[in-house]
């Protein structure tokens, strides 16, 4: 059963053209995360929501925004994608943000910027 | 943030046990030790976590050194499906790193038939 769903799995966008990636969850978890994973690198946290509270990482570029309209859905908006934003974008959820909680990851959306 | 050190790669044969080491000499008393793995073209997957005592679950065992400065993930019988990148991550309870997963480079595990 799919628990963390990401659509689409593959996205191609043009340089500078805004793009939105989506994530949904059936776990009813409070926390949703967005990670960026570039080729041959480890995932890097961009930001997360605890319920409606948004938490941005200090080094996340302003070009990246997020929305969480309800518990189930979270969106990643890239306002003006550059070639360096080509990556796998991973959504994850967690019941809580306490240090002994598990995160559940989706399959990722691979973004190509042409 | 406390750091972890893992070997870049390890190899194993199918159906043999695998011991994946992780050093975390700067671990704080409230840091949990988490292990995730990432199979090719998939998102990371939770494997196991612990604080002080050894832990077992259906996927693996986690052996934590008495001083907590190192740990070992044990796969009891490796299968081809266990070939993945294994990440050892400290998840802290203090300051701006509260509860976050900060991935290092991990260990690439190759399993030979």
Checking DSSP bridges between strand A10-13 and strand A109-113, what pairing results, if any?
parallel
Tens digit of each residue's pLDDT (9 = 90 or more) over A48-102: 999 999 999 999 999 999 999 999 999 999 999 999 999 999 999 999 988 889 9
CA–CA gap between residue B45 and residue A105 (Å, rounded): 7
Considering chain A, what percentage of its residues have pLDDT values greater than 90? 94
**A103 touching chain B per CB within 8 A:** yes
Q: How high is the pLDDT of residue B34?
A: 96
pLDDT at A4 over 90: yes
Secondary structure, 3-state, B4-64: CECCCEEEEECCCCEEEEEECCCCCCCCEEEEEEECCCCCCEEEEEECCCCEECCCCEEEE
B42: pLDDT confidence band, cut at 50, 70 and 90?
Answer: very high
Q: What span, in angstroms and rounded, lies between the C-alpha atoms of A66 and B61?
A: 37
Nearest CA distance, A45 vs chain B (angstrom): 7
CA-CA-CA-CA torsion sign (B20, B23, B28, B29): positive
What is the spatial distance between Cα A33 and Cα A23, in angstroms, rounded to a whole number? 10
A55's tokens: 């938490």
Compute the count of residue pairs across chains A and B with CB atoms less than 8 Å apart: 50
What does the block give as tokens for A40?
């041959």
CB contact under 8 A, A99 and B31: yes
Q: What pLDDT sits at residue B29?
A: 87
Report the DSSP pairing between strands A73-78 and A64-67: antiparallel
Task: Note the pLDDT tens digit of each residue in B43-74.
Answer: 999 999 999 999 999 999 999 999 999 999 99
Per-residue pLDDT at B93 exceeds 90:
no
B93 vs A98: CB contact, 8 Å cut-off? yes
What does pLDDT average to over chain A?
95
Would you say residue A2 has pLDDT above 90?
A: no
What is the mean predicted confidence (pLDDT) over A24-36?
96
Give the pLDDT score at B1: 58
pLDDT at B94 over 70: no
Whether A30 contacts A50, CB under 8 Å: yes
pLDDT higher than threshold 80 for residue A106:
yes
The answer to whether A83 contacts chain B (CB < 8 Å) is no
pLDDT reported for residue B62: 98
Q: Is the pLDDT of residue B96 over 90?
A: no
Inter-chain touch B101–A103, beta carbons under 8 Å: yes
Mean pLDDT, chain B, whole residue set: 93
CA–centroid distance for A48 within its chain? 8
Q: What distance in Å separates the CA atoms of residue B49 and residue A28, rounded to the nearest whole number?
A: 22
Cβ contact, residue pair B43, A103, below 8 Å: no
User: Tell me: the pLDDT tens digits for B24-37?
Assistant: 999 988 899 999 99
So what's the pLDDT on residue B97? 66
Residues of B in Cβ contact (< 8 Å) with A105: 43-45
Contacts of B32 in chain A (CB under 8 A): 99-100
In sequence order, the 6+-apart residues with CB closer than 8 A to the CB of A73 are: A22, A23, A24
Residue B2 has pLDDT above 80, yes or no: no
């Amino acid at each position: 059963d799919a628990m963390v769903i990401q659509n689409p799995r593959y996205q191609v966008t043009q340089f500078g053209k805004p793009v939105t990636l989506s994530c949904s969850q059936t776990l009813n978890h409070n926390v949703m995360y967005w990670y960026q994973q570039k080729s041959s690198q480890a995932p890097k946290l961009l930001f997360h929501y605890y319920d409606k509270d948004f938490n941005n990482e200090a080094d996340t570029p302003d070009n990246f925004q997020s929305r969480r309209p309800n518990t189930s859905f979270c969106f990643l908006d890239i306002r003006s994608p550059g070639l360096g934003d080509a990556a796998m974008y991973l959504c994850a959820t967690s019941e809580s943000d306490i240090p002994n909680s598990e995160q559940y990851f989706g399959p990722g959306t691979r973004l190509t910027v042409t | 943030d406390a750091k972890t050190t893992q070997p870049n790669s390890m190899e194993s044969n199918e159906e043999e046990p695998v011991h994946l080491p992780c050093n975390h000499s700067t671990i704080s008393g409230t840091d949990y030790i988490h292990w995730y793995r990432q199979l090719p073209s998939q998102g990371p997957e939770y494997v196991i976590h612990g604080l002080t005592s050894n832990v077992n679950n259906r996927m693996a065992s986690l052996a934590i050194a008495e001083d907590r400065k190192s740990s070992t993930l044990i796969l009891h019988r490796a299968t081809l499906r266990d070939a993945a990148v294994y990440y050892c991550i400290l998840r802290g309870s203090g300051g701006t790193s509260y509860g976050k997963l900060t991935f290092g480079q991990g260990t690439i595990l190759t399993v030979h038939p």
